[in-house]
Amino acid sequence: MAVGRQPNELPQVLVLSPPAIFTSLESQFSIRFHMLKPWDSKLPLLQFLTSYAQSVPAMLVVPGDRLLVNSAILDCLPSLKLVVTTSAGVDHLDVAELRRRGVAIAYAGNLFSQDVADMAVGLLIDVLRNVSAGDRFVRLGLWPTQRDFPLALKLSGKQIGIVGLGKIGTEVAKRLEGFGCRISYNSRTKKPLVSYSYYSNVHELAANCEALIICCGLTAETRHMIDREVMVALGKDGVIINVGRGAIVDETELIRCLIQGEIRGAGLDVFENDPEIPKELFNLDNVVLSPHVAVLTTESMVGLTQLALGNLEAFFSNKPLVSPYVD
């Protein structure tokens, strides 16, 4: 606890988070801030905020369980000046509304880029080389009697399309260059200093590559951007890896294309309604499923705690935020 200060004298920070997720971070925050935790009260969220959070200047958001910071919540927080989210994606925040109200935003910035890129490459190798499918085959005791385990596809030399060449996409590209892959990308704008082939249209990108790796954020423009046409353009041997957000891909069409063999496979860390997953996916051997954990490593969690604390401390000392979110 800050020297000589009682919990009620510490700067107030409201936490919006599923309780279980925040618990692992709690001790580090509670010694510096008076954390207001709505789940400790029996009141419904909005009533809790109206009753106890009128003068709260800062909010920590640990996303999960489809939490949305929208006008209804913000209307209950007239003194709010800062939102610190522990994520790199900000699709759970109404960014335009926060800007309109003059509330600053801090986020995870570049902190997770390497971990997410590692995971994207891991999923790609898994799908192409049947790693998880092979594991199931061995564990189920099928190896001695069934010798027709399907042939894999090679990664080295593949033409890879990266959707969103931001911090994560760039890390993915760097790793895949090491495998001798040829990289092309789609982004809102062409990157002047990048030599990879640029496609302004994701459909054309898909038509010219063998695997698509989705690394962009979810916005109104990117929702369902990977639609049936894009999947068909990718082709029967094509693979989709998604480490961005589930809703960037039209999940119903993805499942249809996977079942009908219109694409070869998918590696998915994110889903349209995580943590709910369409049950059709469970029966597909050409899909690798991961529970939205690409950012979660022991190392990244240490960094994340420091970053979130650093942003809150900077705010309460009138210093510039460590990792402000810039659109």
- Between 56 and 123, name the residue whose CB sits nearer to ligand O=CC(=O)O: 123
CA distances for 106 relative to 59, 60, 63, 325, angstroms: 10, 9, 13, 5
Nearest to 176 by CA among 206, 152, 199, 196: 196
- Between 210 and 251, name the residue whose CB sits nearer to ligand O=CC(=O)O: 251
d(CA 268, CA 300): 20
Q: Which residues bind ligand O=CC(=O)O (CB under 6 A)?
A: 87-89, 108, 112, 295
- Between 115 and 210, name the residue whose CB sits nearer to ligand O=CC(=O)O: 115
SS3 115: helix
Beta carbon of residue 80, minimum distance to ligand O=CC(=O)O (angstroms, whole number): 21
Beta carbon of residue 112, minimum distance to ligand O=CC(=O)O (angstroms, whole number): 5
Beta carbon of residue 86, minimum distance to ligand O=CC(=O)O (angstroms, whole number): 7
- Between 89 and 166, name the residue whose CB sits nearer to ligand O=CC(=O)O: 89
Beta bridge partner(s), residue 58: 13, 82
Q: Which tokens belong to 235? A: 């082709």
How many other CB atoms are found less than 10 A from the CB of residue 119? 23
Beta carbon of residue 270, minimum distance to ligand O=CC(=O)O (angstroms, whole number): 7
How many other CB atoms are found less than 10 A from the CB of residue 293? 11
Beta carbon of residue 63, minimum distance to ligand O=CC(=O)O (angstroms, whole number): 7
- Between 130 and 323, name the residue whose CB sits nearer to ligand O=CC(=O)O: 323
SS3 13: strand
Please give the full DSSP string across 149-163, using - where no structure is assigned. Answer: PPP----TT-EEEEE
SS3 229: helix
35, 40, 41, 46: CA torsion to nearest 10: 60
Beta carbon of residue 295, minimum distance to ligand O=CC(=O)O (angstroms, whole number): 5
- Between 112 and 315, name the residue whose CB sits nearer to ligand O=CC(=O)O: 112
